[in-house]
Amino acid sequence: MPAGDPSFSFQPGPREYGSPTDAHLAFRTAVVEALLPDVSRADLALVWALFEAEMACEAATQQHENLYQICFYLYELGQLEDVFRLYEAKFLARNMDVGITLDREMMTVGHEVAEVRAYAREVFRQQPPLQTRYPTLLQELDGLVAYPDYDSLEDYRTFIRGYFYGHEPGDLLPVN
């Protein structure tokens, strides 16, 4: 579904208990859940649109029910350019719960830290204003090397895939 579809994008809804809501959150949640069994690179534009809608929802309402799962999809799909989206979710979201729940390792999008860092440095070289938008990205990546939370990227991958797909060998689905 295109990002501009009004039933998909963030849409301010009626206030509940004094707090703003998103009129399209339930539909977006259903789309996010439907992707879980077989998200693939063919879904990348959809996942990016979901991410943008969810970040808009988070900024306006501080609701972020789908953000962790969408970030997992970005990690799983492994596109280096998504390091910037994952940084935004972890470090620029208004609600501190988002930053706490997202693992730093997600920013690697399944690649070695050195590769992600080299990619980010090259993007910053080509587009210097981005360094202002993502001021600590390189330091955060360095922190993954200096103070890792997991013994290896494979250990993290096993953990995060197990979180979403289950921990039994038969539960894990192949990456598409």
pLDDT tens readout for residues 42-74 = 999 999 999 999 998 888 888 788 999 999 999
Total-model pTM: 0.88
Q: For residues 10 and 12, give the distance between their C-alpha atoms in angstroms, rounded to a whole number.
A: 7
Contact 110, 157 (CB under 8 A): yes
DSSP-based three-state secondary structure for 7: coil
* pLDDT band per the 50, 70, 90 thresholds, residue 134: very high
pLDDT in tens, 70-105: 999 999 999 999 999 999 999 998 878 888 889 999
What is d(CA 38, CA 2) in angstroms, rounded to the nearest whole number? 19
User: What per-residue confidence (pLDDT) applies to 15?
Assistant: 81
How big is the chain, counted in residues? 176
User: How many angstroms separate the CA atoms of 69 and 29, rounded?
Assistant: 10
